Structure 1
Amino acid sequence: MASEQQDAIEVPAIGRSRHFVDEILAEADIRINGDRPWDLQLHREEALDEIVARHSIGLGETYMRGDWDAQALDQFIYRLLDADLGRHISNWRNVWPYLRSYLINLQSRRRAFEVGEHHYDLGNEFYAAMLDSRLTYSCGYWKEAQTLDEAQEAKLDLICRKLQLEPGMKLLDIGCGWGSLIGYAAQKYQVECVGVTISREQRAYVAERYANLPVTVHLQDYRILDEPFDRIASVGMFEHVGHKNHREFMQVAKRCLKKDGVFLLHTIGKAKPAHTDPWTEKYIFPNGEIPAASQITRAAQGLLTLEDLHNLGPDYDKTLMAWHENFERNWPRFADRYGRRFYRMWRYYLLISAASFRVRRMQLWQWMMSNDRLGGVERIC
């Protein structure tokens, strides 16, 4: 945070005439060059025209360049979203991302490894500095937790209890990340675990950290899976599947789940289908797509039975702010390696995400599904 404040001091607010953006921001009680934490401090006048012309991309890229700042960036974005200011700045450019996602399978097998190379392979040391001690890159469960480590362990245990794991069972984790769930389940619940990932860095980390546990990790696309498991989980991976592949994903789960098996899907979600924010898709999660509840139920229809749906959305705001705190504190270790532009990009990503969950634009769901299981599944929250 100190580094960001220093940037703002070095580039003083400019003298300027009133702009169309002033009127828009006023609806969210945001002032340009105001003195409140959520006010926008403008360093380059032309940035306002770029924001109007390029919408989400313009807002994010002008921030990355240092054209503007906000002392409390998460509060600034929260106010933008809460006032729905995007309705004032729409143009033909916003139609293309929506059409593109429907015309092209952005999450095809050929594209499957792109997000791993772009995002998850930034370096295990970098993620270790930002995340909890198990490198859990998904929403924590803060019901009784006070720290990030406690929230992530509570989430892992919640998943294991929902899955009703028992010693000797075999668990599949589709999109296992750095292996926090399979490592925890193998150690605490004495189950055999298999994980799949599209990140080489993640695979290497899991193989080394959990070498003494019954944990196997494969570098492969989920669509190749064809092996029976007692339980299946997918935590924070479904956002990379895409609506054109939702049905196939559920078919894979059905194919790999034993007749009395249970499947837990932990995913970010939106109220209705919509294309991914263009800035986020370009700079953070290539080919990403947040699913709507209707898309998930339609994909599972006739394959799996919905047993329970749990919304943890507000917990993601706290998780992201905890990640941001770790990122800011540890940034000096990575400043020379990644540079100032990356720093502004990454903090923008973390804080706009926190604001999106705070304003309830995005949710975090845990879907419990069964495979022809008689008597249903016990609800545990």
Structure 2
Amino acid sequence: MTSDHPMAPIALPDTRARRVLDTLLDGSGVALNGDNPWDPQIYHPDFCARVLRQGTLGLGEAYMDGWWKCERIDEMACRLLTHGLGERAKTPADRLMYRLQSGFLNLQSKARAYIVGERHYDLGNDLFERMLDPTMCYSCGYWKNADTLHGAQLAKLELACRKLELAPGMRVLDIGCGWGSFAEHAARRHGVEVTGITISREQARLARQRCEGLPVEIRLQDYRDLAGHFDRIVSIGMFEHVGHRNYATYFDTVAHLLDRDGLFLLHSIGSNRSDVGADPWVDRYIFPNGQLPSVRQIAEASEGHLIMEDWQNFGADYDTTLMSWLANFDAHWHEIADRYSERTQRMFRYYLSVCAGAFRARELQLWQILFSRGRPGRYDAPR
């Protein structure tokens, strides 16, 4: 079955699973085989049973398998989450398994730190180059005064530089440097020296190419192995991979690396709840072993290590960023379709769409938090 689905959706059998799903969907504005662009069109008779049995994992895998399609998955996800189906869509077995795993195992230990790099970030630079903008930022743009993805990403990078009060000659550490977006911008436009670390070999390779000729060093390294002192530290879109068992270690590491008068900017997706779970589908297919922090978890872990100077939330901008990535992905997929499977295409479309819907529903946040070690004087954060 192709993703185009030339045939009409099937008439769903009147099963217990179908009746339960209809009851759950009642009042959400989403209907199976409905007429709205956010209504899923079903092409497999076992769809309802699979989703009822496996929750969000079954829903995502069924989409990857071609069992259903939807013109506006982002709107579908937003409506379902606003209706309160987010937690109910995670099966008790999924929640218990994650808690057991995270209770007995450090899912983000040094030995496991490179898994997400190998499984996601190393998937292919050609894919991410087509999905992202020329900065290769794989994190939320700042759309306050921007009307294009590229403009929003440049604005985000510059906002981070301004918050850090960069000056020529400063030594800057970039924890989770990705493809070198911040390192290149800060070195080229602010004259600083940057050390960037990543757990992705493909990111490191491309970042070194992009930063060639600049005072930038890119390392394939875990943050727990760092040493030295830096005037400024930045971490954009990496904290989501740290895990609750390592939060205290992370902030202790940053505090020891940061000079007394230094500043640290943490840019991270945030959760509304202090939980130790993860969405089963995202954990399996996109960001293995990831975990989103809450306000409380960040506050408790940083206490005693750093002083919070400023906390900004522009999570609504991630909706626009993700939809821009999806538009790029769709527009350029034909250029790389011969190198990736149709299942990979569906996986990325589903991931980008569902995440956009989650930010639209305000289920997820995007925080930029500025810390110091207690330097004297007042700090006024730019916006």
1:177-217 Cα shifts (integer Å, max 9, x gaps) = 01110110111111111100111111111111211110011
Match of 2:380 in 1: 378
Q: Is the 8 A contact 1:24 1:88 kept in 2?
A: no
Write out per-residue CA displacement over residues 205-252 of structure 1, whole angstroms, 9 at most, x where no aligned residue.
111121111001111100011110000000000000000000111011
1:170-185 to 2 correspondence within 5 Å? Answer: 170-185=171-186
* Deviation of 1:378 (Å): 2.3
- Report which stretch shifted further, 253-262 or 269-278: 269-278
Residue aligning to 1:32: 32
Q: May I ask how many residue pairs the two structures share in their alignment?
A: 377
User: What residue is the counterpart of 1:130 in the other structure?
Assistant: 131
CA contact (8 A) 2:132 2:325 kept: yes
Q: Is the 8 A contact 1:159 1:264 kept in 2?
A: yes
Instruction: Name the residue aligned to 1:13.
Output: 9
- Which residue matches 1:78? 78
**Match of 2:147?**
146
Distance between the aligned counterparts of 1:321 and 1:169, measured in 2?
36
What is the Cα deviation at residue 372 of structure 1?
2.1
What's the Cα RMSD here?
1.4
Using the TM superposition, give the Cα deviation of residue 66 of structure 1 relative to its aligned residue in structure 2, in angstroms: 0.7
Alignment partner of 1:324 out of 319, 323, 326:
326
- Equivalent residue letter for 1:154: A
Which stretch shifts more, 25-34 or 312-321?
Answer: 25-34
> Which residue of the partner structure matches residue 345 of structure 1?
347
CA distances 1:107-131 after superposition (whole Å, capped 9, x unpaired): 0000011111111111211111010
Q: Distance in 2 between matches of 1:86 and 1:165?
A: 41
Residues 231 and 261 of structure 2 are in contact (CA less than 8 Å); yes or no, is this contact kept in structure 1? yes
Aligned residue in 2 for 1:203: 204
**How many Å apart are 1:156 and its aligned residue?**
0.3
My pick for the range that moved more, 331-340 or 183-192, is 331-340
Q: Report if aligned partners of 1:230, 1:258 keep a CA contact under 8 Å in 2.
A: yes
Q: Deviations along 1:152-196, whole A, 9 cap, x unmatched?
A: 000000000000001111111000001110110111111111100
In structure 1, the partner of 2:106 is 105
Distance 2:305 2:12 in 1: 60
**Counterpart in 2 of 1:163?**
164
Q: How does 1:88-103 map to 2 (within 5 A)?
A: 90-103=91-104
Amino acid at match of 1:373: R
Deviation of 1:82 after TM superposition, in Å, equals 0.8
Q: Which residue of 2 aligns with 1:300?
A: 302
Contact 1:370 1:376 in 2 (8 A): no
Is the Cα–Cα contact under 8 Å of residues 307 and 376 in structure 1 kept in the other structure?
no
Separation in structure 2 between the aligned mates of residue 252 and residue 88 of structure 1, nearest angstrom: 37
Which residue of structure 1 aligns with residue 287 of structure 2?
Answer: 285
SS in 2 for 1:289: coil
Residue 91 of structure 1 and its aligned partner are, at CA, apart by 3.3
- Further displaced range: 8-17 or 70-79: 8-17
Q: What secondary structure, in the 3-state scheme, does the structure 2 residue paired with 1:109 have?
A: coil
Aligned-partner Cα distance in 2 for 1:75–1:324: 14
Cα deviation 1:57-85 (Å, max 9, x = unaligned)? 11111111011111111111111111012
Q: Determine the C-alpha separation between the residues in 1 that align with 2:86 and 2:64.
A: 20
TM-score by length of 2: 0.96
In structure 2, C-alpha distance between the alignment counterparts of 1:179 and 1:365, rounded to whole Å: 21
- The structural deviation recorded for 1:272 is 1.5
Q: Which amino acid counterpart does residue 372 of structure 2 have in structure 1? A: S
Return the alpha-carbon distance in structure 2 between the equivalents of residues 376 and 44 of structure 1: 61
Q: Which moved more, 1:329-338 or 1:98-107?
A: 98-107
Q: Which residue pairs with 2:69 in the alignment?
A: 69
Q: Which amino acid aligns with 2:120?
A: H
Farther-moved stretch of structure 1 (18-27 vs 319-328) = 18-27
Give CA deviations for 1:266-314 in whole Å, capped at 9, x if unaligned.
Answer: 0000122221101000000011111111111111101100000000100
Provide the TM-score with structure 1 as the length reference. Answer: 0.96
The percent of aligned pairs where both chains have the same amino acid is: 46
Stretches of structure 2 that go unaligned for 5 or more consecutive residues are none
Counterpart residue number, 1:359? 361
